[in-house]
């Protein structure tokens, strides 16, 4: 122990540091071993999973694309469209044919099935070239479909085999990793035992010296709080840094005690001056002197602060007023940005309808059915859409800065006005919309805002029907009178909303579609319009056919 006591702290810490370095090297070596093994394991699993990914990305997914193009080719309404589809189909067909012929994964039996399926594709194209469209359709939906299913089943079987290989490799690697973990744990235990045993001898000596310094300083700090406390010198045996520190502390304590009285007098003087400042009296200054340079500097600084405090207070008041104006402006800009974003969202559907009108006019012209009466009708529809778009700006301004008066309007009329906006698009896509009007109710509220809500719900139903390619698409709007509310139910047959997200669809900016199709603000706006401006409720549920949006508005209520 005497030998340890006479060694300086730097050497003691050097011994501990050496032990730490040895421990880190050993643990690092073991970690590298584990990391290398994990890397090798990942390499094995990765290599075996490439077959699965290759089949999915390079063959199965392009096969589905080929099938869609194949069906689209048969269903195309004219030769121009069919030629465009045929170009894309040939590119996908050539890519798949090259993969089936040259890939090592594709066995001989799989190539034979592919060749049979390819023959049916060319046979269908031949039927189309000969004008035998019925034969092409039958070939697509029967023989070709069966051959396509056989080919996919073979590919799925190959995927299943590759996944089985990955699982086997992973299980084998897991067993080996357990042995490596045990070896690492044993190494860590041995290193920790040696490090703790050696460190105890060194730390014990350091702690004894620390405790002596701590007790001496505690007595000194007690003296600072209570001048009657007795201060004793710190007595440490040995020649290490703690012994030298004890001598320095003893000398400085003696010096500090001689200067405390002067410093305390200055602090009391400063306290009185600050009390005057707290009472609003800025005329007093610090006058007490001390031998402490820092306290003298503090005294001069406080005097300077007192002289400039009043000016700084005035500048701070002006600065805060300026910041408040900036916050108000930022709030206005944020509200404007929100309004512009909402207008952009609401304009997407009318713009799509105008585009649909143009497409309809072009198709009508191509089929020589274009008449002046037809042109006037379409121009009138487009004008109504642009008029609605202009009105949308005013409606959104009213939403963000409510103004104007409520009016009595017909629920049936508001719903049919909304339907008119999208009627051409619904007809173009073959979507049927039925009205089931059990009661026609007049309510007091904002007609345009209510129409926007109904339009948004119809548009959402149309979009999900098109997205899911629903057969015999149907939207049903039921209008009836409840005990306290006028009720509108809008139901589609698109299969409903995922139960995992149905509680989130009214949240702002929540959407399941691409940003080019919507910003997720429509249903949030609808909920705010109905519940904030119309004193009603809007909710959604699923049934066996699809989603049902229910809009309830009080038949009579007190205007706030």
CA distances from 530 to 308, 335, 450, 487 (A): 57, 20, 7, 12
CA nearest to 73, candidates 61, 59, 90, 57: 90
Cα 452 to Cα 523: distance, rounded to the nearest angstrom: 11
Strand pairing partners for 304?
A: none
Burial of 505: CB neighbours in 10 Å, binned 0-12, 13-18, 19+: buried
Cα 512 to Cα 490: distance, rounded to the nearest angstrom: 20
The per-residue pLDDT string of the chain (560 residues; one tens digit each, 9 = 90 and over) reads 555 556 666 676 777 777 778 878 877 776 766 666 666 666 666 666 777 777 777 777 887 787 787 777 777 777 788 778 878 888 888 887 777 777 766 666 677 777 777 777 777 777 777 777 777 778 777 877 787 788 778 777 777 877 787 787 777 767 776 777 777 788 778 877 777 877 776 677 677 777 677 776 776 676 667 666 666 776 666 666 666 676 777 777 776 767 776 677 767 777 777 777 766 666 677 776 777 677 677 777 777 777 777 677 667 767 755 754 554 344 344 435 544 644 555 576 778 888 888 888 888 888 877 888 888 888 888 888 888 778 766 655 544 444 457 888 899 998 988 887 777 678 888 999 999 999 989 998 888 888 888 988 998 899 899 999 999 999 999 999 988 899 999 999 999 998 898 888 888 767 766 544 555 677 888 888 888 888 899 999 999 999 999 999 988 644 44
C-beta of residue 345 within 8 angstroms of C-beta of residue 452: no
DSSP 57: I
Name residues whose C-beta falls within 8 Å of residue 292's C-beta, 6 or more positions apart in sequence: 259, 262, 263, 266
Cα 529 to Cα 523: distance, rounded to the nearest angstrom: 10
Give the per-residue pLDDT at 464: 92
CA 90 to chain centre: 40
C-beta of residue 310 within 8 angstroms of C-beta of residue 282: yes
Cα 365 to Cα 34: distance, rounded to the nearest angstrom: 73
C-beta of residue 212 within 8 angstroms of C-beta of residue 235: yes
pTM of the model: 0.34
CA 93 to chain centre: 38
Give the per-residue pLDDT at 509: 67
**Cα dihedral: 51, 53, 57, 59 (round 10):** 30
Burial of 128: CB neighbours in 10 Å, binned 0-12, 13-18, 19+: buried
Cα 13 to Cα 29: distance, rounded to the nearest angstrom: 24
Q: Which helix (H) or strand (E) holds 505?
A: none
Structure tokens at 103: 């890939």
CA nearest to 259, candidates 287, 221, 293: 293
Cα 252 to Cα 246: distance, rounded to the nearest angstrom: 10
Cα 415 to Cα 438: distance, rounded to the nearest angstrom: 14
Domains of the chain: 2-199 (no CATH), 334-554 (3.30.565.10)
Cα 234 to Cα 495: distance, rounded to the nearest angstrom: 85
CA distances from 237 to 3, 147, 241, 499 (A): 12, 96, 11, 76
CA nearest to 343, candidates 387, 397, 415: 397
Give the per-residue pLDDT at 542: 93
Length of the chain: 560
Strand pairing class (474-481; 432-437): parallel
Give the per-residue pLDDT at 38: 67
DSSP 3-state assignment of 367?
A: coil
Structure tokens at 78: 């004219």
CA nearest to 54, candidates 128, 4, 105: 105
Burial of 7: CB neighbours in 10 Å, binned 0-12, 13-18, 19+: middle
DSSP 3-state assignment of 266?
A: helix
Spell out where 374-494 has E strands: 407-410, 432-437, 442-445, 474-481, 485-492
**Cα dihedral: 138, 139, 142, 147 (round 10):** -170
Structure tokens at 137: 């359709």
**Cα dihedral: 214, 220, 222, 228 (round 10):** 140
CA distances from 302 to 274, 417, 448 (A): 9, 75, 66
DSSP 238: S
DSSP 510-558: --SS-TTT--S-HHHHHHHIIIIISSEEEEEEE-SSSEEEEEEEESS--
Give the per-residue pLDDT at 193: 77
Structure tokens at 186: 């044993």
Structure tokens at 278: 């707290």
Give the per-residue pLDDT at 324: 40
Residue/partner pairs of 135-143 with CB below 8 Å, 24 or more apart: 136/74, 137/74, 140/70, 140/71, 140/74
């Amino acid at each position: 122990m005497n030998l340890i006591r006479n060694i300086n702290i730097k050497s003691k810490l050097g011994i501990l540091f050496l032990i730490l370095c040895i421990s880190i090297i050993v643990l690092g070596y073991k970690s590298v071993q584990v990391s290398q093994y994990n890397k090798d394991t990942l390499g094995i699993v990765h290599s075996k999973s490439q077959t699965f990914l290759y089949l999915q990305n390079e063959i199965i997914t392009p096969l589905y694309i080929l099938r869609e193009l194949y069906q689209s080719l048969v269903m195309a309404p004219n030769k121009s469209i069919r030629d465009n589809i045929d170009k894309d189909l040939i590119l996908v067909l050539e890519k798949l044919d090259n993969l089936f012929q040259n890939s090592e994964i594709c066995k001989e039996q799989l190539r034979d099935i592919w060749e049979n399926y390819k023959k049916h594709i060319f046979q269908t194209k031949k039927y189309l070239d000969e004008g035998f469209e019925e034969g092409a359709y039958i070939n697509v939906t029967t023989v070709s479909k069966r051959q396509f299913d056989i080919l996919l089943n073979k590919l799925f079987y190959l995927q299943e085999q590759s996944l089985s290989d990955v699982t086997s490799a992973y299980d084998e690697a897991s067993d080996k990793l357990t042995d490596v973990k045990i070896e690492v744990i044993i190494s860590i235990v041995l290193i920790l035992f040696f490090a703790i045993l050696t460190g105890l001898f060194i730390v014990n000596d350091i702690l004894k010296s620390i405790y002596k310094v701590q007790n001496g300083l505690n007595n000194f700090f007690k003296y600072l709080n209570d001048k009657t406390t007795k201060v004793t010198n710190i007595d440490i045996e040995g020649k290490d840094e703690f012994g030298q520190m004890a001598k320095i502390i003893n000398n400085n304590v003696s010096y500090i005690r001689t200067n405390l009285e002067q410093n305390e007098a200055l602090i009391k003087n400063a306290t009185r001056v600050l009390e005057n400042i707290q009472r609003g009296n800025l005329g007093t200054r610090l006058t007490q002197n001390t031998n402490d340079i820092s306290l003298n500097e503090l005294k001069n600084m406080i005097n300077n602060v007192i002289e400039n405090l009043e000016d700084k207070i005035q500048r701070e008041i002006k600065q805060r007023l300026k910041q408040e104006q900036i916050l108000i402006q930022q709030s206005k800009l944020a509200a404007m940005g929100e309004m512009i974003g909402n207008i952009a969202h609401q304009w997407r559907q009318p713009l799509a309808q105008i585009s649909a009108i143009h497409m309809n006019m072009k198709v009508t012209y191509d089929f020589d059915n274009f008449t002046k009466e037809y042109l006037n009708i379409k121009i009138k529809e487009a004008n109504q859409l642009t008029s609605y778009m202009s009105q949308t700006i005013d409606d959104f301004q009213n939403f963000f800065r409510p103004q104007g008066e409520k009016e009595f309007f017909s629920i049936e009329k508001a719903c049919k006005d909304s339907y008119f906006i999208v009627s051409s698009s619904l007809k173009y896509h073959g979507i049927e919309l039925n009205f089931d009007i059990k009661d026609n109710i007049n309510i007091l509220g904002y007609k345009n805002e209510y129409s926007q809500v109904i339009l948004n719900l119809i548009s959402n139903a149309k979009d999900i029907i098109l997205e899911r390619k629903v057969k015999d698409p149907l939207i049903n709007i039921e209008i009836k009178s409840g005990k306290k509310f006028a009720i509108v139910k809008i139901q589609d047959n698109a299969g409903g909303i995922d139960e995992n997200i149905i509680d989130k669809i009214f949240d702002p900016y929540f959407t399941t579609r691409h940003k080019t199709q919507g910003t997720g603000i429509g249903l949030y706006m609808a909920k705010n319009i109905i519940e904030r401006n119309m004193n009603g409720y809007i909710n959604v549920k699923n049934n066996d056919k699809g989603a049902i949006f229910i809009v309830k508005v009080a038949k009579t209520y007190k205007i706030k």
